[in-house]
Structure 1
Amino acid sequence: MPDVRLASPQGKWILLTTVLGSSMAMLDSTVVNVALPRIGRDLDADLAALQWTVNAYMLTLAGLILLGGSLGDRYGRRKVFVVGVVWFAAASLLCGLAPNAGVLVAARALQGVGGALLTPGSLALIQASFHPDDRGRAVGLWSGFGGIGAAVGPFVGGWLVDGPGWRWVFLLNVPLALVCAPIAVRHVPESGDGRTHTRFDVLGAVLGALALALVTYALIEARSGSLVVAVTAVAGVAAGVAFVSVEKRRPDPMMPLEIFASRQFTAVNLVTLCVYAAFGGFFFLAALQLQVVVGWSALAAGTALLPTTALMLLFSARSGALADRIGPRIPLTVGPLLCAAGMLLMLRVGPDASYLLDVVPALLVLGAGMVTLVAPLTATVLGSVDASRAGLASGINNAAARAAGLIAVAALPLVAGMGEEAYRSPTAFDSAFGRAMVVCAGVLVVGAVVAFTTVRSLPPGCRKPECRTHGAVVAPPLEGERVRKQLS
């Protein structure tokens, strides 16, 4: 039985290291967008290179996050967490020293591997270490600090870009890791679930990541219209079909397809795909719009985006409580519609835009929509499957959201008609940004329709802090892998 008390010195060390570890990965998912214009200028990179700077990280993270959780179960969550922290820091160092865009993209892909190792283990370590009486409060503190990190991430990124330079967006992870890893080794007890008889679904992980990579490449490079792009697109679809076939036949699949037998689970994942595709596209382009078109500094652009995550951090618990009373259908319908309205309000944000009159109203409406839907979405995912599969369901939902953001960043500039050099021309970028916001709003409306027509049953209320207190602008919060009964 886990017996560490939160008030003990060991309990405080465990909380500190897990917060630091998760914050590293979460911050990197939000602060890099603010640095993109400066990265492009310093490395003479085109729009495709900036897309890959974001997507290389999301690609390996989304493709390997389920495998990362399985590795922790097999070899020990602390061990895999520490490996992930060290790996992430080494890749961050390489990002910070990258001499050109190609090296930066490769280093970002390596960063995603580290993120896939440390992200699932962060919450699982808390659940496996703390005494049952303290576990809920520990998770609440972990979620709250993580939400604060997500909220201040764009601000920190902007300050670093305008101050010491964009490379410190990545280099900052190195000292954090030098604090995090030794504390974990010394103070965090090892844990696993004893399922050493299971086999790793390496083939499934490779096929899933390959399908995402090939489709992403085809979308980003589609402007060239070459035969290679067409072949890559077909190969990506084939890899996706092969992934589904492998998962259907394996005795221990990474993503058991029978979990989608739950109509509620399938429906809420479709909503997740729509919502987080729109979020991914928005946060990628908004930071560029505020700098390229409006003319703000990186710090001003990063600070401008604070209201969305701040609203989520402050009010998601109340939204979750309301959803407990009225059920998920209305929040999952109204939330995306509010987000769609917020993105349409962003059409007012052009040259000489006023922060108070143009930007703030859009972000407040967008933030209200995110508050309305994120907690009920997570609760519905966890309530739509058996409790013993909650960790798996949450992992699939998290991976689906990241994959949706990945595809959106690849496809949205293409759909909106952005050329390779669009971000160097305020006029061209502004026009394409307007089209992109309309597309994002349309995707959100589709998500609202899916929720209204398919989400029916009332799931058990999710009163877990990780459902409620989280700045989940990139992906829904993860529910840690369930600890076996003998540990609790």
Structure 2
Amino acid sequence: MTSPAPAHPLRWRILGLLGVAQLMLILDVTVVAIALPHIETDLGLSRQAVTWTVSAYTLAFGGLMLLGGRTADLIGAKRVVLAGLLIFTAASLVTGLAGSAGMLLGGRVAQGVGAAMLSPAALSLVVSLFDGDERNRALGVWSALGGGGAALGVLLGGALTAGPGWPWVFYVNVPIGLVIILALARMLPRQQAAKPRPRLDVLGALLVTASSGALIYALIRAGDDGWLTAATGWLVLLAATGYLAFTVRQKTAVSPMMDVSLLVRRPVATGTFLILMATALMIAVFFLGTFYFQHGKDYGALRTGLLFLPVAVATMFGANLTGRMIARSGPRPPAVAGLLAAAAGMALPALSLHPLNVVIGTAVAGAGTGAMFVVASATALGQVAPHESGIASGIVSTFHEFGASLGAAVISSVAAASLTGDTFDGFTDGFVLAAVAAAVGALAAAALTPPRDRPARAASPGT
């Protein structure tokens, strides 16, 4: 047995810097959600452009993430982290300076490209810098950034939008990004690229991203043109054809982006379904809530951010509680309970649209989605071979971002009447749809989620 390489003396500082960089990527979903009504007013955005402000970022992020991981293997994680962070920082400046919908959306796409490079490469560095128990601790810190990002995002988004203005939601990334780039360039060790250099499946990345873009465009257009129009049908068909072509490509490519056969395995399929539902419901909560409070009730951005704080806290509580329980109960009970909690929470404002009901209901739904995030990762990654864990993790992360894109597209179209007019009916319809989707999801989770794995349970006390 060979002796391990000496640990990098600055590994914990590097983890802190990489963690802040990852936090910026997470923040750029929830922090922007609070600012959306102000961006819409200042730039005169259409409802479709408002929706793309969320979806363009998450679509580029999710669609190119596996390609970013492959690039890190090809040329080294350090280079990809620095390049991704530089692109994200520059794109944040461009987005903050935006004076039109085109410039805004172009900046958001570029932010997504930078995020897709940065996130998997940064995680690769964390894994390589730590070993043994220290690696588990480092990965625990990394995983905790999701819940913390949601809480910080709503407060930061409200404070910046109410204070210096919505452009600072993006400008704040610039000085932080530059400092991290300079520090990491000096502190990160040089890395050798992988010996058998994998090829980049650029065609595969383009196919899955373009197909998802066509589907999201169809869902966004449906809010204006109708759900059963020929245009919507053709776009959905185009997306389905693109996904089929992507599947064929992955089976024939020399170095495919993902092993699509993993998606037919019950644990991985269940995990991807749950992460898709959890992220879509989370985005529905923020999208409906922020427009209801600011557009419907004329609340300020800071007040809205504070009203969302219970949602963020409940999400972290649900995730923490589920993390403690899942080893004893197995994944099925918390998966079903999380979706039922989300359904009940969304049903409360659907039955009676009142600010207090929205706060309480979205907080309950947040606890449910927090539970789903934990179950999704544990289910998808807990029963795969060690050499498949990286690919399975990439699949889950990709569906996480696609869930955000789809959730924003669907909920925006369903709530279109309230987003563009003076009626509250669209908000009610949005909460009804979210509640029904979560309830149906609970039935699906009860049927799909694997029962408790006996061998895994025996090994769980050490985790």
Q: Which residue of the partner structure matches residue 448 of structure 2? A: 454
- In the other structure, the counterpart of 2:247 is 244
Q: What letter corresponds to residue 242 of structure 2 in structure 1?
A: A
Counterpart in the other structure of 1:368: 367
Instruction: State the match for 1:418 in structure 2.
Output: 416
Distance apart, 1:15 and its partner CA: 1.8
Answer yes or no: is the 8 Å Cα contact 1:128–1:191 preserved in 2.
no
Confirm or deny: 8 A CA contact 1:337 1:444 kept in the other structure: yes
Percent identity among equivalent residues? 34
- One-letter identity of the residue aligned with 1:150: A
Q: Is the 8 A contact 1:268 1:380 kept in 2?
A: yes
The Cα of 1:219 is off from its aligned counterpart by 2.3
Give how far 1:193 is off: 6.5
Tell me the residue number matched to 1:479: none
1:64 maps onto 2:67 in alignment: no
Assess, with a 3 A threshold, how the Cα gap between structure 1 residues 212 and 297 changes in structure 2: closer, same or farther.
same
User: Shift of residue 129 of structure 1?
Assistant: 0.9
Structure 2: 5+ residue stretches without partners:
none
> 1:112 is matched with which residue?
112
Q: Which residue in the other structure is 1:484 paired with? A: none
Instruction: Check if 1:436 corresponds to 2:435.
Output: no
Return the offset for 1:321.
2.2
Partner of 1:477: none
Aligned equivalents of 1:41 and 1:22: distance in 2? 30
Aligned pairs for 1:160-309 (under 5 A) are: 160-191=160-191, 194-222=194-222, 223-224=224-225, 231-309=234-312
Q: Give the whole-Å Cα distance in 1 for the aligned partners of 2:38 and 2:179.
A: 29
Deviations 1:200-236 (A, max 9, x none): 1111101001101122222222324787665444333
The 1:282/1:312 distance shift into structure 2, 3 A limit, reads: closer
Q: Is 2:76–2:192's contact at 8 Å kept on the other side of the alignment?
A: yes
Q: 2:204–2:256: 8 Å Cα contact kept in structure 1?
A: yes
> How many angstroms apart in 1 are the aligned matches of 2:230 and 2:373?
41
User: 1:405-424 CA distances to partner (integer Å, 9 max, x unpaired)?
Assistant: 2122222333x2624xx425
Task: Quote the residue 1:485 is aligned against.
Answer: none
Residues 150-176 of structure 1 show CA distances to partners (whole Å, capped at 9, x for unaligned) of 311111011111110000001111011
User: Hey, what does 1:154 align to over in structure 2?
Assistant: 154
Please say if residues 65 and 117 of structure 1, whose CA atoms lie closer than 8 Å, have aligned partners that are also in contact.
yes
Question: Deviations 1:126-165 (Å, cap 9, x if unpaired)?
Answer: 1111243422222333333553233111110111111100
Sort the Cα spacing of 1:194 and 1:316 in 2 relative to 1 into closer, same or farther, 3 A.
same
- Equivalent residue number for residue 48 of structure 1: 48
Give the partner amino acid of 1:238: T
**CA-to-aligned-CA distance 1:78-102 (integer Å, 9 cap, x gap):** 1101111000011111101111111
* Mapped partners of 1:297, 1:192: distance in 2: 51
Counterparts in 2 of 1:441 and 1:195: CA distance versus 1, 3 Å: farther
Q: Which runs of 5+ in 1 are unaligned?
A: 468-488
Length-normalised TM-score, structure 1: 0.87
Moved more, 66-75 or 10-19: 10-19
CA distance in 1, matches of 2:230, 2:141: 52
Q: Partner of 1:86 in structure 2?
A: 86
Alignment RMSD (CA, Å): 2.4
Q: Aligned AA for 1:305?
A: F
TM-score (norm 2): 0.91
2:397 matches 1:398: yes
Task: State the Cα deviation string for residues 418-472 of structure 1 (Å, max 9, x = none).
Answer: 24xx425342xx211111111111111222112111222434369799x9xxxxx
Q: How does 1:472-487 map to 2 (within 5 A)?
A: none
Question: Superposed, which structure 2 residues align to 1:317-328 within 5 Å?
Answer: 317-328=320-331
**Residues 417 and 298 of structure 1, relative CA distance in 2, 3 Å threshold:** closer
Residues 418 and 133 (structure 1 numbering): CA distance in 2 closer, same or farther, change over 3 Å? closer
2:26 is paired with a residue whose SS is helix
Alpha-carbon distance between aligned partners in 1 of 2:341 and 2:233, rounded to the nearest angstrom: 37
Name the SS of the counterpart of 2:198 in structure 1. coil
Aligned length: 454
Letter in 2 for 1:309: A
Counterpart-to-counterpart distance in 2, 1:387 and 1:441: 37
CA deviations over 1:11-69 (Å, ceiling 9, x no partner): 33202211121011011011111111100110111111101111111111111011111
SS at match of 2:189: coil
Secondary structure of the residue that 1:4 maps to in structure 2? Answer: coil
Change (3 A) 1:265 1:212: same
Kindly provide the CA deviation profile for residues 331-352 of structure 1, in whole angstroms up to 9, marking residues without a partner as x: 11111010111111133674xx
The one-letter amino acid of 2:297's match is V
Write the deviation string for residues 281-332 of structure 1: whole angstroms up to 9, x where unpaired. Answer: 2322221111111221111112211222223334533321211011001111
Greater mean deviation of Cα atoms: 257-266 or 61-70? 257-266
Closer/same/farther in 2, CA of residues 330 and 125 from structure 1, 3 Å limit: same
Residues 135 and 42 from structure 1, CA distance in 2 versus in 1: closer, same or farther, beyond 3 angstroms?
Answer: same
